[in-house]
Structure 1
Amino acid sequence: MERQVSADSERGRGADGPWTHGHAVVDDVRLHYVAAGDEDDPLVVLLHGFPDFWNSWRDQIPALADAGYRVVAPDMRGYNRSEKPHGVEAYRVERLVGDVAGLVEYFGREQAHVVGHDWGGIVAWETASRRPEVVEKLAVLNAPHFGRYREVLRDSPEQRRRSWYAAAFQIPWLPETLLGAFECAGIGALLRATADPDTFSEADLRRYREAICRPGALTAALNYYRALARDGLREEIGALLGRERPPREVPVPTQIIWGEADSALVVEQTENLERWVPDLRVERLPGVTHWVQKEAPEEVTELLAAFFAE
């Protein structure tokens, strides 16, 4: 499907930090973003995960801009101030990949360094494998490669135990009810349960709850999981019918930064990836949880900047 990118954008300097806010229309979906850095500098696109928004990168945005990059951190479709298209099909991976490619085009570039955490990391993996021409370098923070995830899920009882929530999110309306009750208090509890005690302040939790409690945002966020499950089922049926699965190779230089104390993903997700990712380096951070860019912000920024500069 050809992507349509609008040149229309609302811009304004943010009172919340050294960045500007804007909107880009990509394939008729209006995406909010935060940007910093010189417009002529190399482009870095930062993709957040669940249940996050652009704020996930508030430590990296100014630091990478100071290091000489044009930095863009969108609210991914459905999240926070971005548009929330209806229906599970609107959140299929191919649409999310198209959003990333559309943003690169919107900012007048042919390529960007693409960085993703959690769900943003899944989208980053898929962008590099499906649209490698738009990715100069790929950096993934605590997000599994699809091929390796399936292997680990099959072979590791511990990973199956930790992945229970992804199955629970397939249930209609119940996850929204539980997580959205009492002004999305469940989201705050989820963040606290998966991070070190000092990672999220009360003000942080309030911002996250406000973002995910916007009308339609929680269902949109859960639809990422629901669409992924449907895509997986399509692939399995296709394999049974003798159809070739889409290629998984990532033909761009790739860096993985992994907090080893992740409560949802076992560290084996970072192993045996060379058959899909020939140009790979892995940086493991002991004692750091899933929220690696928040708990080790300076180290993450230094690793990213050094990798991009090579």
Structure 2
Amino acid sequence: MIEVKARGLTFDVHEGGPEDGEPVLLLHGFPQDSREFDLILPRLHEAGLRTYAMDQRGCSPGARPADVSAYTLTAVAADAIAVLDALGVDSAHLVGHDWGAQVGWQLAARHPDRVRTLTAISVPHPRALMLALRVRPSQKARLAYFEVFRRPFAERMLLAQHALALRLMLRPIGMRAEQYVAAMREPGRLTGGLNWYRAYDSSQVASLGVVTVPTTYVWSDKDGVVGLTAALRTRDWVRADYQLVAMRGVSHWVPEQAPRELADAVLARIGV
């Protein structure tokens, strides 16, 4: 693990693989951290790729600002760009899950010169999701938790009864959930993660345009967050080589529940 100073903050970045390999930036979601990619990293390294798994804002101990306004998508996307700059990486392949996928869509649409390819996991193009929210009541129901996470009591709720709610969320990944539950007891860690939800505003994605870099979207049919409509309509927002990889019997937690299949999708997108 290395510490990367960027934008007045310090980010923990876990690097691995051949030093001369093509760079891959991996962006985690909530309530996880960069360890969610541990099961796919060996395959990427064997393929000759240089990986940088970044603990994002709110997760890295040196990057937990107190103000909710510091956690907008604009801010966290700028973090990723700044970390690439600090690493001396002009452009990278992006792999993002959950909120990390949201950041990936932002970067691919707004900074295509910094993105070689995008593999977005679980979260579709935001405009496709907005469409699904309008036309599918079931999609709105799937995202009901979002408003709960924005409330002041969310920390207490998630940690109550020995973090029962967190454990139930992460039940599909078994004992791997315990490392994230333990981490959420660090000062400011859980609040930092929840502040992504609190800072979210639909205006941040309403103007997001099409993606012009080669893209794979990985969706799983047991995902309780994203339904089929948003998954299928993501194709409308990519003007480049595109593939939808649909996984059967897999939940939202793809990197840890289906690491072999995900690694296959990432390597196919990168082309190694």
Same fold at TM > 0.5: yes
State the distance in 1 between where 2:183 and 2:91 align: 29
Structure with greater contact order relative to length (CA < 8 Å, sep ≥ 6): 2
Partner of 1:107: 87
Change beyond 3 A, Cα 1:97–1:235: closer
Partner of 1:191: 170
State the distance in 2 between where 1:307 and 1:132 align: 16
Partner of 1:48: 28
Q: Is the 8 A contact 1:47 1:74 kept in 2?
A: yes
State the distance in 2 between where 1:62 and 1:101 align: 25
Residue-pair matches, total: 271
Which of 211, 214, 217 is the matching residue for 1:253? 214
Q: Which has the larger Rg?
A: 1
State the distance in 2 between where 1:247 and 1:205 align: 33
Partner of 1:287: 249
One-letter amino acid of the structure 2 residue matched with residue 181 of structure 1: A
Partner of 2:183: 211
State the distance in 1 between where 2:13 and 2:163 align: 23
TM-score scaled by length of structure 1: 0.83
Moved more, 135-144 or 264-273: 264-273
Q: Judging by fraction of residues, say which structure has more helix.
A: 2
**Secondary structure of 1:24's match?**
strand
Moved more, 266-275 or 23-32: 266-275
Partner of 2:105: 125
**Secondary structure of 2:236's match?**
coil
Q: Is the 8 A contact 1:137 1:254 kept in 2?
A: yes
The answer to whether residue 10 in structure 2 is matched with residue 25 in structure 1 is no
Q: Which runs of 4+ in 1 moved over 3 A?
A: 182-185
- Structure 2 unaligned residues grouped into runs of 5+: none
TM-score scaled by length of structure 2: 0.94
Partner of 1:175: 154
State the distance in 1 between where 2:62 and 2:96 align: 17
Aligned Cα root-mean-square deviation (Å): 1.7
Partner of 1:36: 16
- Measured after TM superposition, the shift of residue 183 of structure 1 is 5.0
State the distance in 2 between where 1:266 and 1:28 align: 38
Partner of 1:200: 174
- Structure 1 unaligned residues grouped into runs of 5+: 1-20, 237-244
Q: What do the CA deviations read for 1:237-270 (whole angstroms, capped 9, x no partner)?
A: xxxxxxxx63421111110111111012112211
State the distance in 1 between where 2:54 and 2:130 align: 28
One-letter amino acid of the structure 2 residue matched with residue 189 of structure 1: L
- Measured after TM superposition, the shift of residue 182 of structure 1 is 4.6
